[in-house]
A and B are shown apart, each in its own frame.
Chain A
Amino acid sequence: MNLRKFLLAAGAAIALSVALSPAHAVTLRYANQGDLKSLDPYTLNETTANAHLGHVYEGLTSRGKDLKIGPGLAERWEVLDGAKRWRFYLRKGVKFHNGEDFTADDVIFSANRVRSTGSNFATRVPKDAKFTKIDDHTIDVELPSPNPIMHAQWDTWYIMSKKWAEANNAVAPTPAAATTPSHASLNTNGTGPFRIESHQPGVKTVFKANAAWWGKKEHNLDEIIFTPIPNDATRVAALLSGEVDVIEPVPVQDIARVNSSASAKVLAGPELRTIFLGFDQIRDELLESNVKGKNPFKDVRVRQAFNMAVDKETIKARVMRGLSTPSALMIAPSLFTHSKDFASPKFDPEAAKKLLADAGYPNGFEVGMDCPNDRYVNDGPICQAVVGMLARIGVKVNLNAQPKAQYFAKVLKSGGYKTSFYLLGWTPGTFDSHNVLFDIHGCRADGTPRGESNLGGYCNKKVDELTDKILVESDVAKRDAMIKEAFQITTGEFGYVPLHQQALSWGVSSKVELSQRADNSVLLYWARKN
């Protein structure tokens, strides 16, 4: 074939392939700094993963753009017997992506699965809740004690198909620490507006619009392609060049650069997530420390010293470039009315040093620190800054900053809480203080989901009692007073070092319209691309 013939043939082939491709296939490309490792909706309770999977799976309830709770797979529900019995009326005519009908059996199956060993969502459904099938589209949930906010976290308790899980050997949840994938961690079968066409962990995940979805779609997309881009500069470059349409997060140092471009803008706002440091205060000897035979973090003076040694304002000014709200509490001020009554301990390294000396560590000590480096805004640099600040009071911190997949597999329950000192971020799933007190301040014990994400094992029985009362109290003023009392105890004991609430910063191409939810869930089923 001579060159001209070849070019002609190639041209014809290209023209043909263009002509044959679907007329207006709208593809939205989305890049996040972190990866989506497991597709199993019970593996990792993390906002990013929940948001990804929220395109595919749905809960009985859902949350709107304003975070208000609304109907999901349950059309409506009734709270009976003083919140000890709930009746859910399931939506009819809903189909899973493989064509099966959605019924009460799937809900009961999911309720059992989410509470089994290996699930990171055990707190979603009360341990002793009894599920009864009334008919194919009605279920009753009976509770031994009242729980008026039970459904508040059910928007991210995703319902899975019983038949599909049983047929594919996926009845047991895939733990975050699992080293081999399961069928459910590589495949999905939900009811949501998108289905996953292909999933290569660490490379890309392709979502296709589900034409048979029961709801009224707001997006105009045919396809979403998700790729993890861990490197900050590469992610920003991809957005500016138009290679991707949406990125999360835009590194705080690059916000001005993105806003000055014509092709993209930054959607910013205050986030509800609190970033904090936690201590192992449950083991008698730390896993990673040169102090043997005792645990320095059991001494309140050591925890107070750490609280006083961390300079939140400088972290805000230098690492977060002004885009964070230093926090005295483990919950965002907009989620708790009395937040302003609390103040962070004064930054005072000298006093902190003295406290350490009083506690018996005049020369400080050595401790390992676990930190993710692709989860929160500038998480790696924050940890490095903390290492420097603690060095000034004599504490030598051995920083182990790693990608979140390895990090979570090590520090979470499924990994055996193997950490001595760590950085974590938390947005309460219920957008309420009870979740913060129950999940990250509750005493850990076998057989209860209480304190599931309390990685360091902080424990105070008085706080637990208050937490249980807060759950059932319906008088808002009384309830807030009890929450305040509980937080006074936890901050008085310096259970954690709250650092700040980070800022939302999404990079969005000017071709895309997107609503931003304050919990940092990137939900592209509300996106429109021109």
Chain B
Amino acid sequence: MPTPTPEEVKGLVGGGAGSPVIRKILDSDILHSFRSSKLTMVAATIVFLCFFGALFAPLIAPFDPFDPAKVFLSDASIPPVWQQGGDPRFVIGTDDQGRDMFSAILYGLRVSLAVGGLGVLLAAVIGITLGLVAGYMGGRIDAIIMRVADVQLTFPAILIALLIDGVAQGLFRGLPREQSAIPVLVISIGLSFWVQYARTIRGSTLVEKNKDYVHAARLVGLPAPIIMLRHVLPNVIGPVLVILTINLGLAVITEATLSFLGVGLPPTQPSLGTLISIGNKYLFSGDWWIVAFPGATLAILVLAVNLLGDWLRDALNPRLR
């Protein structure tokens, strides 16, 4: 999946101090580019539907798969309604514990998107802070932060996430898994994805900090944190929106991978990854629907998010227009 290099995203900021990208998004150019790309509109619709379904899952889903008192083992492994043995109550079948697959997917989406979204936000907050500090302060602080980032970049994100997950679970020992799983996953994802933000922000900050308006602010005597937050940040935040979107897809996949490996959400509170992991056990026995539907949902969601991210990157890049 293409991710913007610092050089590439630096171009997104455009002319410098005068053009915050937030305003650009509302610009009719962007809207026009959105309307003229059918693929993007489809992707946006899918992403919207997923978010909508996840947000209102308790209202839409016919069953509550997280409430063990309402799941009946006697309903287990019922095939989709169009197959022999199907049950009209469970349109796309049930899993090995008797949970309605459709409800489980909606609730699973909710967990996956929440974990992915919060994880990406945490990564952004960490990355932006460190990137700003590194770029603005320079010198030894910059060197330390960026070397740590370089080291982390040499490891695949999933490996870092596994490592952090292990440590965090040690810290949360004693808490039931159902309560500790989400914070642990958010921290794992947040800490393994911050590098991109930091590098991007640092690059832009290096450019911005030598501009006249920053010099002026410094001359007035404003303290460094205020200059970073009020003056530099609004001018370097643009590319982060692109990374945020693209990383959301990655984070959802990371969550699914961790859950699939058994270190994510417990089977009593399944995310999409946990559902796929459960279904995987029944691949040979012919219960294909337990793995196929959550798998397809995950694939379609991530594809749509990535298409949206790609479009956003192109739309915000003046060089490509």
Residues of A near any B CB (own CB < 8 A): 231-233, 236-237, 251, 253-254, 256-257, 288, 311, 314-315, 317-319, 368, 373, 380-381, 384-385, 387-392, 397-401
Check B69 against A233 for contact (C-beta < 8 Å).
no
A-B contacts at CB below 8 angstroms, number: 76
| Bound: A469/B315 CA distance, A | 86
| Given A253-B282, A384-B268, also A319-B69 (CB < 8 A) | no
Q: Which of A257, A317, A373, A385 contacts B97 (CB 8 A)?
A: A385
CB-based contact A388/B176 at 8 Å: no
5 A-B pairs (CB sep. < 8 Å) = A251-B281, A256-B285, A317-B74, A384-B68, A401-B267
Give the CA-CA distance A385 to B283 in the complex, in Å.
20
* Beyond known contacts A384-B97, A387-B68: 12 more, CB 8 A cutoff: A233-B282, A317-B74, A318-B73, A373-B262, A380-B267, A381-B96, A385-B73, A391-B68, A391-B69, A398-B177, A399-B266, A401-B266
**How far in angstroms is the closest Cβ of chain B from A191?**
38
B283 touches A389 (CB 8 A): no
Q: Indicate if B280 sits at the interface (CB-CB under 8 A).
A: yes
Is there contact, CB below 8 Å, between B97 and A388? yes
- Output the least CB separation between A234 and chain B (Å): 8
Q: Which residue of B lies closest to A373 (CB)?
A: B262
> Which residues of the other chain, A, contact B71 by a CB distance below 8 angstroms?
388
Given contacts A368-B176, A398-B176, contact A388 B73 (CB under 8 A): yes
What CA separation (Å) do A354 and B73 show in the bound complex?
22
User: Known: A253-B282, A400-B176. Contact between A387 and B268, CB under 8 A?
Assistant: yes
> For residues 121 through 162 of chain B, which have their beta carbon under 8 Å from a beta carbon of chain A?
none
- Name the one of B68, B73, B284 contacting A254, with C-beta atoms under 8 angstroms: B284
Closest to B178 in A: A398
How far is B286's CA from A385's CA once the two chains are assembled, in angstroms? 21
> Does A389 lie within 8 Å of B268, measured CB to CB?
no
Query: How far is the CB of A277 from the nearest CB of chain B, in Å?
Result: 15
Shortest beta-carbon distance from B185 to chain A in Å = 17
Q: Is the CB of B98 within 8 A of A237?
A: no
Q: How far is the CB of B283 from chain A (nearest CB, A)?
A: 5
Query: Given the complex, which residues of B lie within 8 Å of A400, measured CB to CB?
Result: 176-177
Is B165 part of the contact surface with A, judged by Cβ < 8 Å? no
Q: Give the residues in chain B near A311, CB-CB below 8 Å.
A: 73
A318 touches B68 (CB 8 A): no
Q: Tell yes or no: B41 within 8 A of A by CB.
A: no
B67 CB contacts on chain A under 8 angstroms: 391
Q: Considering residues B74, B96, B280, which has the most beta carbons from chain A within 10 angstroms of its beta carbon? A: B96
Residues in B whose Cβ lies below 8 Å from that of A231: 280-281
In the complex, the answer to whether A232 meets B281 with C-beta atoms within 8 Å is: yes
Given known A251-B281, A253-B287, contact A384–B69 (CB-CB < 8 A)? no
A314 close to B285 (CB less than 8 A): no
Q: Interface residues of A: mostly helix, strand, loop or mixed? A: helix
User: Is B76 in contact with chain A by the CB < 8 A criterion?
Assistant: yes
Report how far A398 CA is from B179 CA in the complex, Å: 10
A381 close to B97 (CB less than 8 A): yes
Interface centre among B74, B77, B283 (most CB of A within 10 A): B283
In the complex formed, the residue of A with least CB distance to B96 is A381
Min C-beta distance of B181 to chain A, whole Å = 11
Cβ-defined contact, A233 with B176, below 8 A: no
Find out whether the CB atom of B287 lies under 8 angstroms from the CB atom of A318: no
In this assembly, does B72 line the interface, its C-beta being within 8 Å of a C-beta of chain A?
A: yes
Contact with A along B267-310 (1 / 0, CB 8 A): 11000000000001111111100000000000000000000000
Are A237 and B284 within 8 A (Cβ)? yes
Cα distance, A380 to B278, chains bound together (Å): 11
> Which B39-54 residues have C-beta < 8 A from chain A?
none
Interface members, chain B 57-84 (any A CB < 8 Å): 67-69, 71-74, 76-77
A381: B residues at CB distance < 8 A: 96-97
Closest 9 CB pairs of A and B: A391-B69, A253-B285, A398-B176, A391-B68, A388-B68, A318-B76, A232-B281, A254-B284, A257-B284
Contacts A384-B267, A401-B267 hold; do A389 and B73 have CB atoms under 8 A apart? yes
Which residues does chain A contribute within 8 Å of B266, judged by CB atoms? 399, 401
Residues of the A chain whose Cβ atoms lie less than 8 Å from the Cβ of B73: 311, 314-315, 318-319, 385, 388-389
B76 x A319 contact (CB < 8 A) = yes
Closest approach, in angstroms, between the C-beta of A373 and any C-beta of chain B?
Answer: 8
Provide the bound-state CA to CA distance between A70 and B83, in Å: 55
Contact residues in A for B96 (Cβ distance below 8 Å) = 318-319, 381
Chain A CB within 10 A, most for which of B178, B266, B286: B266
Docked Cα-Cα span, A251 to B284, in Å, equals 10
Q: Mark B72-112, 1 if CB is under 8 A from A, else 0.
A: 11101100000000000000000011100000000000000
Bound-complex Cα distance A35 to B286 (A)? 28
Most buried by A among B176, B177, B281: B281
- From B68, B74, B283, residue with most partner A Cβ within 10 Å: B68
Q: Which residues of B contact A315 (CB under 8 A)?
A: 73
Contacts of A253 in B (CB 8 A): 281-282, 284-285, 287
Whole-angstrom CA separation of A368 from B174 in the bound complex: 10
The CA of A478 and the CA of B67, in the complex, are separated in Å by 50
CB distance from B264 to the nearest CB of A (A): 13
Residue among B97, B282, B285 with most chain A CB within 10 A: B285
Is there contact, CB below 8 Å, between B285 and A392? no
User: CB-CB < 8 A to A384: which residues of B?
Assistant: 68, 97, 267-268
| Contact (Cβ within 8 A) A392 B69 | yes
